[in-house]
Amino acid sequence: MDEKVMVNDILAGVKSDLVAYQTAISESENMQLRQTFQQIRNSDESFQYELFKIAQSKGYYQPAQKATVTEINTVKTELQQ
């Protein structure tokens, strides 16, 4: 398995974990448990971003094309209604 595949696999796994942590946070009644999940999520978000920057610098990951001002304003309008 080459480095690009491994990096993209890890990024996908962390993304999945972040969704799971968010679900656990929103469903946790115990404040200590909730805070623990939040700390883990925050750590994973930082790790994901650092790995993303590495992947992007090596050309392993290309983000989507940036939205135009018109597209951004359209989404804002739709969400505010």
CA distance linking residue 1 with residue 48, whole number of Å: 20
Least Cα distance to 7 among 47, 43, 51 occurs for 51
pLDDT computed for residue 13 by the predictor? 95
The pLDDT tens digits along the chain (81 residues) read: 799 999 999 999 999 999 999 999 999 999 999 999 999 999 999 999 999 999 999 998 777 889 999 999 999 999 998
Residue 2, CA distances (Å) to 6, 15, 46, 60, 80 in order: 6, 20, 24, 11, 45
Q: Are 30 and 36 in contact (CB under 8 A)?
A: no
